[in-house]
Structures are given as C-alpha cells and as structure tokens.
Chain A
Amino acid sequence: MLQALADASFGAVVLQSGDWGFVFENADYLLEGTLTTVLLTVASVLLGFLVGFPAGVVEVYGGRVLRAIVGTAGVVLRGTPILVIFFFGYFVFRFGGAFETAIVGLGLRSAAYQSQIFRGSIQSVSEGQMEGARSVGMSKLEAIRWVVVPQALRRSIPGFQNEMTIVLKDTSIAYAIGVAELLTLSRELFIQETTAVMEVFLFASAIYFVLTFTTNRGLDYLGQYYGIPTEESV
C-alpha cells in the first residue's frame, strides 16, 4: 500500500524541464498531426453535411419506404461505436487507406447525427410557413427550397456547433486504424521518450482544447451573424 503510494507520487513528478524541451523540439511533428486532425474534421463534417442534410429532409418530407430506410441507417450508425465503424471500413469494406476510412466513417456517422439536427430544425419551422409559401403559389418543393430550408439552416447552427466539436474530438479515435493525426503522433513521441508522457499529452490536450474552443467561438459568431431576429420582423 505504502509502496503503491510512493510509486504514485514518483509517477506524478514527471513534469521536468527537459521533457518540455523534448516536446517543443518536436512541436513541428505535432503540428503536422494537428493539420491532419483539422483536415479530417473538415472533410468529415462536410461529408456529414452532404449526406445528412438530404437525409434530414427525407425524414421530414419523404415517403414511407424512404423514411424507413434513412431512419434505420441512422439508428445503426448512431448506435454503433465509431471504433466499430472504423474497423468495418478498414477490415471489411476496404475501400481505401486509413485516412479515407476515417473520413468516410466519421462522415457517415456525423451524417446520421446531422440528419437529426436538420430534421428537428425543419420541424420547428412552423407549418404556417409552409402554408404561407403554398398560398403565394409555390410548389411543395419550392416552398421547402426557398422558405423552410433557409430558416431551418439558421436554426441548426447550435446543434451543428456541438456536432462539429464531437467530430473534432473523435478524430483522435482514428488512432485505432493508424491515421497520423495528433493523438497518434503524440503517442509515438511518448513511446520514444517515456518520461515525457505528461508533457506530450498535456501539449496535445492544449491543442485539442484550442481547436474546440476556436470552433465554438467561431460558430457562435456565425450564429449571431446569421441568426434570425426574433422580436422585430426582418
């Protein structure tokens, strides 16, 4: 017991200046990983939007069969760990390398979540808006395109913000299939210099934190800029 305590305190005193030096010497290497992380995030969220937005529209306006198909695919993607999705992509479907697999895995899973965000915001745009559009002679499709969607997209920003940070954090799981993103490279550094474990992971955490923080603030700003005033009419 005492021995365990002693080990623990020994383990805790690993923040040494030399180890920070090691981290900063390899900062370039970690920034390369950061770039991959950002690239992975942007590509996945984009794919998620391209698939998820139509899926959301289908879930609201689609026919029975289409809705059932999209709905079931969503439940499966949302109910399966991203790790399992990655392994399916990498070992079962084998359509590309680790990087492509990560984009498609994160992207499709994100699409399943984004479809829910868009479904919710489309439904929250009142039926009155649809009736108003139909009453000026628009077809259902035109009404969706010109009246419902523009409002729904703006209302989706808070949910989208949340989704984007989730994708950003989950890019770290691409470590499992060997994508050279920030966590993978951090882990490689730590294996090289095991005493620097805390320094390396704290540095990586700081980068992740800056990334999520910037994303949140950026989308906050977008939300304010494009938000629809609720009191006065536009």
Chain B
Amino acid sequence: MNPLLRLDSVYKSYGDEEVLRGVSLDMEVGDVEVVVGPSGSGKSTLLRCVNRLTEIDDGDIYLDGDRVTAPDTDVNELRRDVGMVFQDFNLFAHKTALGNVTLGLRRVRGMGKVEAREKAMEHLDQVGLGDQADSYPAELSGGQKQRVGIARALAMDPKLILFDEPTSALDPELIGEVTEVMRDLASGGMTMLVVTHEMTFAREAASTMTFLDQGEIVERGPPEQLFDRSERKRTREFLSRITARHGDAQP
C-alpha cells in the first residue's frame, strides 16, 4: 500500500539560498503532521511544493502513488485533491463566505448552483459559520475568515489539506476558534499537513511532528518524543523558546 503523501529527497533553492535540502517524509491517510521550525527554515516552501504553487528543483513528490512532480501532471487537478489554508486567509474579497466556498465547487468541480450551495452550507455549518454565509470577508473577524478558508478547502473533498501558519495572523483571543475546528477535523480522520507555532495543538492533535531547520529535517516522531524526550539539542532549544513565546504546551 502506498503512503498518501511521499516526499522523496526534495530540494529547492531561491538563487543561492537553499531552502529545502533533501527533505523526505511519508504520510498515511488520517495522519496529522505538524511541521515546526524557525522562520526561514523552509516550512512554507515545503507546503507550497506539495500543491506545486512552488516548483521543486530536485527529488520527487507522490500523492496516492501518483508522481505529482511529473511534467505532465495537471496541476489544477492536483490542487483539487490538495486543499490549502493560508496564513492571511486569502479569501476572495468580492465573494460572500458562501461564495468563497461555492466558487471552486462551481468552476472547478462543475457543480450546479443549488448543489454547490447545499454542499457549501454543509461545510460552513461544519466550521460553525452557517449564520455568516452572506457576509463579505471585510465584515468578518480574523478567526471567522480563517474558518471560511477552512470550509473553502474542505468543500473540494480533498485527500489532504495544507495549513500554512493558519493562526499566525490572528489576535490571540481568536486563535482558539480556529484550532478547535482543526482539532475536530483531525479527529474526524482528515489528513493534514500543518505548519504552525501553536504548540498546544501540536501536542494534542499531531500524530507526527517534524522539526525543520535550515531546510533539513532535524527530528521527526510522535509529539511526546520531541517535546519530552528529544535527544537533539537544536530541537530542545527551539521548542523551549517557542513555548515560552506562544504559551505552555503542557496539557
């Protein structure tokens, strides 16, 4: 049986700067992989390579056994299967919450208006925003915007969702509503690749945690291993710094 997602020694540089230096990892269906690391460690680039918003220089990426880095891959089809949630939400400014979710259903999946609306409402309810369906992004709080962003990704029925620091742009008091939705998704069996600084979420929801530094995986394993029993100095130092800044990760 193939893993759902396989990264096989992925390399990426921007000019002289090597951002990813031979990153390999496997994810099974239902896995929640949390990637942590200092800024500039290549976490966001890693995510964007998976749905090919960024092209890699060397290595291979497979989704469900298909080589997505093959030149003849239809990137639009690939992105149907890989949802993405952005740090700055990137909601379509001219569409209501509902319109943000239906746009992909209608224009990418070719659904009819009624069907798309029904499905979109389902996902807005799922993230607790059924009552805000007609609000425009400018009328929503940051936490609400991000939940619409999650609903937009969910609606495409993706095999995998990428979360690119989904709570970094939020005021502290709004973070909880987003991580709560993410936790629900995780326990519902969604496969998620998450870049975040939310250590509480990582400890409670991650099945595997990866510490990325200078484009390399320093350590990868269950969250308890990295938080409590890490043998790597770099991991320990990073995690103690990040928990001091972003709150205690102890349950």
Are A and B in direct contact (Cβ within 8 Å)?
no
- B contact residues vs A (CB 8 Å cutoff): none
Where the two chains meet, the residues of A that have a C-beta atom closer than 8 Å to any C-beta of B are: none
